[in-house]
Amino acid sequence: MTTIPAPTRIMGILNVTPDSFSDGGAYLDVDAAVAHAEVMVEQGASIVDVGGESTRPGASPVGAKTERKRVVPVVRELVARGIPVSVDTRTARVAVAAVEAGAELINDVSGGLSDPEMPRVVAETGVLYAVMHWRDGGADAAPDYTSVVTEVRRELTHRLAHLIVEGVKPEQLIVDPGIGFGKTAEQNWQLLGHLAQFASLGHGVLIGASRKRFLGALLPADAAMEDRDAPTAVISALAARSGAWGVRVHDVAATRRALDVWDHWQLGAIS
């Protein structure tokens, strides 16, 4: 009997930052952030990813105190409304504060490389942990790969092994190939085209391609940032087809429609 795999989760992006590449400054106010999160949940987000530090190319890091001040009040308000929350942070102190406020997932773009205390925090809190592929320099790293799929998979395997040795349980771990972080457009497409290589690691796979620069190359030079939402939604559907655990997006409504198409496609295939 053919069964339909678990549906792909939509992680709605909520940047409470002044300088994120797409929506910086739009949701610095707690009330505005909460209102936007509620809209994303109504549109179909399974979890809201709250971030207080931009990781776009060229962004300046912020201190843990500032990041925590931006993130924790929003996390607390969302949890009080029954909204599942992820915290997008590379800093263990911010992660602890967010989990204490009710966050159930730590989304770390550095995969634990930015803060040596992060593995301990993940192990002690027991929450889910999204481990993104990261080379020194993050989004600004040189895209120096001989075989990007092989190398990213190998480096993620090493990170997973390190985390497990540090006490993190395998069932806590989600992997993210790091689309747009120190990769060329061609390398990003290669990673997306080989998602099965990452699913074979035995953990859920999170894809964060939303509005990234390589999608802009598909559009006219004067296209608005929001015009990248259509190709993002297509990527979301194809990621779901490849068995992705989740997709991290700005435009939840467009991705929800794309995933609905894929869900009905699957139903049609077994009826």
Question: pLDDT per residue over 15-56, tens digit each?
Answer: 998 755 555 566 778 999 999 999 999 999 999 999 998 776
Distance CA 220, CA 120 (A): 46
Contact 68, 96 (CB under 8 A): no
Strands 204-207 and 9-15: unpaired
User: How would you class 266 by CB atoms within 10 Å of its CB: exposed for 0-12, middle for 13-18, buried for 19 or more?
Assistant: middle
* Domain total in the chain: 1
Asked if residue 143 is part of any domain, the answer here is: yes
What is the predicted pLDDT for the residue at 112?
Answer: 95
Asked if residue 1 is part of any domain, the answer here is: no
Residue with token string 């009080």: 80
Asked if residue 4 is part of any domain, the answer here is: no
User: How would you class 95 by CB atoms within 10 Å of its CB: exposed for 0-12, middle for 13-18, buried for 19 or more?
Assistant: buried
Contact 112, 164 (CB under 8 A): no
Asked if residue 67 is part of any domain, the answer here is: yes
Asked if residue 3 is part of any domain, the answer here is: no
CA 199 to chain CA centroid, nearest Å: 16
Distance CA 37, CA 41 (A): 6
Task: Give just the sign of the alpha carbon dihedral 80, 46, 184, 18.
Answer: negative
Distance CA 80, CA 270 (A): 40
Distance CA 55, CA 107 (A): 12
What is the predicted pLDDT for the residue at 171?
Answer: 97
- The amino acid present at 91, given as its one-letter code, is T
Asked if residue 52 is part of any domain, the answer here is: yes
User: How would you class 79 by CB atoms within 10 Å of its CB: exposed for 0-12, middle for 13-18, buried for 19 or more?
Assistant: middle
* CATH code (residue 22): 3.20.20.20
- The amino acid present at 85, given as its one-letter code, is V
- Residue 58 confidence class, pLDDT cut points 50, 70, 90: low
Task: Give just the sign of the alpha carbon dihedral 105, 75, 72, 212.
Answer: positive
Q: Is the pLDDT of residue 60 over 90?
A: no
Domain that holds residue 234: 9-270
Q: Comparing C-alpha atoms, which of 149, 130, 96 is closest to residue 206?
A: 130
Backbone angles phi, psi at 128, to 5 degrees: -65, 150
**Alpha-helical runs (H) found in 145-218:** 148-165, 185-193, 195-199, 213-216
Asked if residue 95 is part of any domain, the answer here is: yes
Catalytic residue numbers read 212, 248
Asked if residue 244 is part of any domain, the answer here is: yes
Q: Comparing C-alpha atoms, which of 103, 45, 57 is closest to residue 236?
A: 45
Please state, rounded to an integer, the average pLDDT across all residues of the chain.
Answer: 92
| Top-confidence residue, 71 or 61 | 71
Condensed to tens digits (0 to 9), the pLDDT of residues 87-146 reads 999 999 999 999 999 999 999 999 999 999 999 999 999 999 999 999 987 777 888 899
What is the predicted pLDDT for the residue at 24?
Answer: 52
